[in-house]
Structure 1
Amino acid sequence: MTVWYNFIRIHKTLRVTPAMEAGLTDRFFSDDEFVDIVDEWEASRKGSPGTLSVVLGLAKLTV
């Protein structure tokens, strides 16, 4: 739910996503696109913890 709320849903008052407003990203994401990003990240992990920021191109988002 958090991903949808912060990265996908465009808020009426902001007219952008909260992630865009916070400066975490400069683009909109679709549901399918975000699923592909997470799938790519999980495939690259190979059992070790990593950061989702590399896949998303974000500066501070870590998992």
Structure 2
Amino acid sequence: MGKIAFLFSGQGAQYSGMGRELTKHSSSVAALFALADRIRPGTSAQCFSGSQEELTETKNTQPCL
């Protein structure tokens, strides 16, 4: 199987829940979110269930993207 890449259009494309399904199906993605939580506690919770208002703040958007 070839390599798979995910491309996101960038800031403005974020939505609550992004990445959640990928973590259920990919241990690599789950590991990346776990690493993000170690670096910046709460990152995955914010990406998976943060409010749209929170996600529009650059400090929150960028780690989720």
**TM more than 0.5:** no
With CA pairs under 8 Å and 6+ residues apart, which has the higher RCO, 1 or 2?
A: 2
The TM-score normalised by the length of structure 1 is 0.29
Structure having the higher helix fraction is: 2
